[in-house]
Structure 1
Amino acid sequence: MVVYNDGRTYPSDLPLHSVSAGAAVLRDDGLLLVIKRRDNGEWVLPGGIVELDEGPRDTVIREVLEETGVEVEPELLTGVYKNMRRHVVSLVFRCRPVAGEAHETDEAAEVAWFTPAEITSHMTEPFAIRLLDAITPGGPKVRIHDGQRLLLRGTDN
């Protein structure tokens, strides 16, 4: 049994998931902010794990600033993505940059503004689709992947 601070209890055999929040930072010229991670060399959108004491929008603001030096304002939830292998549920918000200049950081070996074509050619499918979904009209997309490729392409799963 797991006991929370407010006294509620839950069976300890419930599945555990972590929640992350990412930013699709879109400039007026249509370019999107991306980082090349120092730990694995992959191009991804900025973001990270939602801390226990913060909301997803606060995570996006904090992570983008830490990883890129850019201050953002989250505007709209554009997608929910589940990595079936790692048990991570990611929320992605379209954001607009409000201050700061993009630069390399402790977490990002490179920081760049990509076109949609560059996103498709430089990023793995599960990360590219998060940015492409953010610039596609319509409500939030829901997608499932294994870390390397999409498992379900629909948006109503």
Structure 2
Amino acid sequence: MSSNPGKAQSTPLHSVSVAGAVVREDGRVLAIRRADNGTWEPPGGVLELTETVEDGVRREVSEETGLKVSVKHLTGVYKNVTRGVVALVFRCHLEGGAEQLSEESTAVEWLTAEEVKARMGEVYAVRLLDALDNEGDSAPRIRTHDGQRLIA
């Protein structure tokens, strides 16, 4: 019920995105440099209406990197309050394929945690760092941000 009787209640609309935190046996994590803005991020994108969450993760990783992965577990839920985007990040295991560029990526690299911190903005770095910390033995992190900074 709206606290303002003169104002109509609106239904919030959110977009759901998925990303794969692909961790190699040596502890490095997969990242792409986006073609549209040059930022480093985990591979991911908008979840299609007709696909499962896991299928969306596999599709996005494959499209952006050429790699095939298996989806292991949810490591974080991240809400961008400015854009109304909810991102689900899953730790993934590399199954095969070869790194390749796409229309969406100008670089595909395996980064250390320190390289993630150095190359990525806070709201993307935390997604991979949370995934590196969660090997399946803890609950997913839930974080909110404004597109640039985490909100406490």
Structure 2: tracts of 5 or more residues without a match: 1-7
Counterpart in the other structure of 1:126? 123
Question: Cα offset for 1:99?
Answer: 0.6
Would you identify which runs of 4 or more consecutive aligned residues in structure 1 move more than 3 Å? none
Mapped partners of 1:44, 1:146: distance in 2? 16
Contact kept, 8 Å, 1:79 with 1:142, in 2: the verdict is yes
| Matched residues, number | 142
Taking CA–CA contacts closer than 8 Å with sequence separation of 6 or more, which of the two structures ends up with the larger relative contact order?
2
CA gap 1:88/1:99 in 2 versus in 1, 3 angstroms? same
Classify the secondary structure of the residue corresponding to 1:52: coil
* Aligned match of 1:30: 27
1:52-63 maps to which residues of 2 (within 5 A)?
52-63=49-60
Equivalent residue, structure 1, for 2:150: 150
Structure 2 distance, partners of 1:12, 1:71, is: 44
Root-mean-square deviation (CA, aligned residues, Å) is 1.3
2:113 is the counterpart of 1:105? no
Q: What is the CA–CA distance in structure 2 between the aligned matches of 1:135 and 1:35, rounded to whole Å?
A: 17
Where structure 1 has 5 or more consecutive residues not aligned to the other structure, the ranges are 1-10, 153-157
Instruction: Write the distance in 2 (CA, Å) between the matches of 1:135 and 1:118.
Output: 13
What is the Cα deviation at residue 13 of structure 1? 2.4
Q: How does 1:10-89 map to 2 (within 5 A)?
A: 13-89=10-86
How far apart are the structure 1 equivalents of 2:9 and 2:33? 37
Q: Answer yes or no: is the 8 Å Cα contact 1:20–1:56 preserved in 2.
A: no
Instruction: Output one character per residue of 1:88-139: Cα deviation in whole Å (capped at 9) or x when no partner.
Output: 0000000011011112111100010000000000000010000000111421
Aligned with 1:134: secondary structure? Answer: helix
Distance 2:22 2:15 in 1: 23
TM-score between the two structures when normalised by the length of structure 2 = 0.90
- Identity over the aligned pairs, expressed in percent? 50
Query: Which whole-Å CA distance do the structure 1 matches of 2:52 and 2:130 have between them?
Result: 22
